[in-house]
Copies of this chain bind each other. A is one copy, B any other.
Amino acid sequence: MTTRQDCLALDAADPLAPLREHFDLPDDLIYLDGNSLGVLPRATPARVQQVVREEWGRDLIQSWNTAGWIDLPQRVGDKIARLIGAGAGEAVAADSTSVNLYKVLMAASHIARQDQPARRVIVSERSNFPTDLYIAESLARELGWTLRLIEPEEVEAALTHDVAVLMLTHVNYRTGRMHDMAAVTRAAHAAGALVVWDLAHSAGAVPVDLRGADADFAVGCGYKYLNGGPGAPAFVWAHPRHADRFWQPLAGWMGHAAPFRFTPDYQPAPGIARYLCGTPAVIAMSALDCGVDTVLAAEPLGGMAALREKSIALTTLFADLVEARCAEHGISVVSPREAALRGSQVCLARAEGAYAIVQALIARRVVGDFRAGDAQTPDILRFGFTPLYTRHVDVWDAVEQLVQVMASGEWREARFHQRAAVT
């Protein structure tokens, strides 16, 4: 079995190890929650201060021109495009994932209504991230459509003649299960449906090739693997064949062809810029820009392919060690063991105590998170492995701490069972 010494040797030989230097991570912390909130890049505080003190405080409105505030959404979008297999000019950073999902679902529904009006169903997974389902449910209500929820293995069978849009999250937020984007998109297109991908747990975590998969629309999150900070702006992508076909309904002035001409009638900008709405969140988007840079810093070292290789090594090691050392404590791995089916996270389950075990680990400075189960699914302990800053030795130490939490029985202490507002 892999020893701690082996892990140190793997880290010493890791060509991606220098990327950790781009982050300001507390020394004593093993942070396995970058799939919830990425850590602070070292460059961010100074950049944010510059934006606040100089661009805003000193230069005020002229920074729209001199600091390039006006095309920040495009510049950050172009950087993100490099991580998701999209071209320059095809993505923008804007709003939240939920808001962007509304835009692209509306666009997809309009295209479907024009091209195939008999199709009035959106298909998604019951275990999709809830906000995706809420937005789709809401839009279905508005349009008089149906939202049909299925299990992940039912996707192909669900692509019936009435399906207008298949909306999936590439990597499931609870289980870490990853869809084969190219195969699913191909099947959906063969069945006559458009595909909307949520890349919240993919962008910056696993290779994504939207153009290669011939996807239709995508949205994603800025504050997870892109390290953009809490509540960072999200991003939105539309395949160029669709981008100009439809006004998305959040037709704010920043999506206008000439926002500063102040004409009373809307003329959508060409391409993805029409997916912008209000004034860009300059401070937040500057932080996101620094976060995206931390992922782009991997490009000379092999980019997303190299990050994926390390991610698989880390998640495989974690799953192996947990199975070898924690099975006796009733802990099992619920994420797929086949690497190709797994994103950059590993989820564990235990018949009881999942919440308290996560809290006890946090008290030992190993940060994962808890996601409650329901009638069908167990409570889970969720661990994300960001290959930019997570080391092999962190994986080993995290499992060691988990073993100690279980062996000592300390997770049974009352203090670890008190639920916080946000869990």
Binding site for B on A (CB under 8 A): 24, 26, 29, 31, 33, 36-37, 39-40, 44-45, 48-49, 51-53, 55-58, 60-65, 69-70, 95-99, 102, 126-131, 133-135, 137-139, 141-142, 149, 223, 229-234, 247, 249-254, 256, 259-266, 277-285, 287, 362, 367, 369, 371-372, 374, 420-423
Contact = CB atoms under 8 A, between A and B. Distances in A.
Report the copy number of this chain in the oligomer.
Answer: 2
13 contacts: A31-B60, A45-B53, A48-B48, A48-B52, A60-B367, A70-B422, A96-B278, A98-B278, A99-B278, A126-B264, A128-B264, A231-B283, A233-B281
Contacts of A29: 60
Nearest to A173: B262
Nearest to A34: B60
A287 B52 contact: yes
Nearest to A24: B57
Given A69-B230, A96-B252, A249-B138, A130 B367 contact: no
Contacts of A24: 53, 57
A249 B139 contact: yes
Nearest to A263: B130
Given A130-B253, A134-B252, A278 B232 contact: no
A193 B287 CA distance: 43
Contacts of A249: 102, 138-139, 141-142
Contacts of A230: 51, 55-56, 63, 69, 279-283
What are the nearest 7 A-B pairs in CB distance? Answer: A96-B278, A98-B252, A40-B57, A230-B282, A131-B253, A98-B278, A64-B422
A274 to B, nearest CB: 11
Contacts of A141: 247, 249
Contacts of A263: 130, 374
Contact of A266 (B36, B134, B421): B134
Given A61-B33, A283-B48, A284-B283, A138 B266 contact: yes
Contact of A265 (B129, B133, B247, B265): B133
Nearest to A41: B57
A59 to B, nearest CB: 9
Given A64-B422, A65-B421, A134 B256 contact: yes
Contacts of A126: 264
A128 B264 CA distance: 8
A24 B40 CA distance: 27
Contacts of A33: 60-61
Contacts of A420: 65
A142 B141 CA distance: 13
Contacts of A259: 130
Given A31-B60, A230-B283, 10 more contacts: A45-B52, A49-B49, A51-B230, A63-B230, A65-B420, A95-B278, A98-B253, A230-B279, A231-B280, A260-B422
A262 B61 contact: no
A327 to B, nearest CB: 27
Contacts of A374: 263
A134 B253 contact: yes
Nearest to A55: B230
Output the residue of A52, A63, A421 with the most chain B CB within 10 A: A52
A317 B24 CA distance: 52
B65 A39 contact: no
Given A60-B37, A149-B264, A279-B231, A135 B250 contact: yes
A212 to B, nearest CB: 28
